[in-house]
Amino acid sequence: MKTILYDMDGTLVYFQIDYIKARRAAINVLEKWGLKNRYNVKNTITSAVDDARIVFGNEYGYSDEKIGEILNEVNDAIVTIEEQAAHIAKPITNIEHLLRFGKKHNLQHIICTYNTHRVAELTLKTAKLYQYIDDIYGRDDVDEAKPSTVHLNAAIEKYSIKPENTILIGDHGADIQLGVNFGCTTIAVITEHNKDSLVKSDFSVEQSNIADDVMKIIKDNFTLM
């Protein structure tokens, strides 16, 4: 075994972002550019942005460059909210034990997150986990985010990552689907919010005992250096 692909919030850190506030910020930008009363805070930011991209192009006739400018403005509004959460991030209980275990066995620790690279770095530094991480791939580092394997392309090339030598750990369906798409072993982190949504993973662990349970899975199923 050579690599662990980690999601960040909910897997390594408690990242208490105000999702409603973030969605409102995104909606305000989209409404400013003409999409009045089309979205509400029940819509995910991803679904709203995907829809807006189509509407701006097909119905408003905006150029790709103009659409890019608008969506960058949306992203900037969201990042402001994310940075507030980054400054108060805390490590998941005992997660440092797992990261130390990985470094002891020369495992590569790669972050694949929906957060921007800057927010992820700030979050990990705040939680005092940054020193254990080899690299970060945020949504702004890739052309297409998870569950698409495009999110992994740069990391695969840089670190020679192979599915048979890799596990992916995450607490969201998109994390697990990324691992399934890539063909690596997946470990779902179970919380009270996702108990019924992570059904495709090879293994599952409770967030409250993630470090010990993941180390046991690795020891029982993989050869370590």
Q: Given the structure tokens 């890799």, which residue do they identify? A: 166
Task: Give the CATH number of domain 3-15+89-221.
Answer: 3.40.50.1000
Give the pLDDT confidence score for residue 196 in this predicted structure. 60
What are the pLDDT digits (tens) for 48-65?
A: 999 999 999 999 999 999
Give the pLDDT confidence score for residue 159 in this predicted structure. 96
Q: Given the structure tokens 């919030």, which residue do they identify? A: 9
How far is Cα 31 from Cα 159, in angstroms, rounded to an integer?
A: 42
Residue 150 pLDDT greater than 70, yes or no: yes
Percent of the chain with pLDDT over 90: 87
Coil vs helix vs strand at 95: helix
Give the pLDDT confidence score for residue 197 in this predicted structure. 59
What are the pLDDT digits (tens) for 72-108?
A: 999 999 999 999 999 999 999 999 999 999 999 999 9
Percent of the chain with pLDDT over 70: 98
Peptide linkage before 91 cis (omega within 30 of 0): no
Q: What is the pTM of this model?
A: 0.87
